[in-house]
Amino acid sequence: AQKITQTQPGMFVQEKEAVTLDCTYDTSDQSYGLFWYKQPSSGEMIFLIYQGSYDEQNATEGRYSLNFQKARKSANLVISASQLGDSAMYFCAMSQYGNNRLAFGKGNQVVVIP
């Protein structure tokens, strides 16, 4: 079974600072994808960034970057220059070919303070 672990409690971040959200995963497969989603208080699930297991470079999307350490099975999300609008719940998720689903971690709550 897929297992995604996000253990950090709720985090308060100063505006304009960077924040790192931890995610570790457990799989014996070689082919998989790692995703981060943002869920603001309005409730929608917003895709942020994707890392394929065979990608050699860390994924980046604007202020979001994924620190992928395959041997340690970690896929931490880094948000640079935090903005008030970054306050949300953040979910790490994994997909494995043949497993036909996206498995989610329990999420990290982030609050950006001015």
Partner 1 sequence: DTAVSQTPKYLVTQMGNDKSIKCEQNLGHDTMYWYKQDSKKFLKIMFSYNNKELIINETVPNRFSPKSPDKAHLNLHINSLELGDSAVYFCASSQDPGGLNGYTFGSGTRLTVV
Q: Which residues bind partner 1 (CB under 8 A)?
A: 31-33, 35, 37, 39, 43-45, 47, 50, 52, 89, 91, 95-104, 106-107
Which residues make Cβ contacts (< 8 Å) with residue 51, sequence separation at least 6?
A: 33, 34, 35, 58, 59, 66, 68, 75
If DSSP codes are grouped into helix, strand and coil, which group holds residue 105?
coil
Q: Which is nearer to partner 1, 45 or 84 (CB)?
A: 45
Task: Using the minimum distance from each CB to partner 1, give the nearer residue, 40 or 83.
Answer: 40
Specify whether the CB–CB gap between 21 and 110 falls below 8 A. Answer: yes
**Least CB distance from residue 3 to partner 1, whole Å?**
13
Q: Which is nearer to partner 1, 8 or 39 (CB)?
A: 39
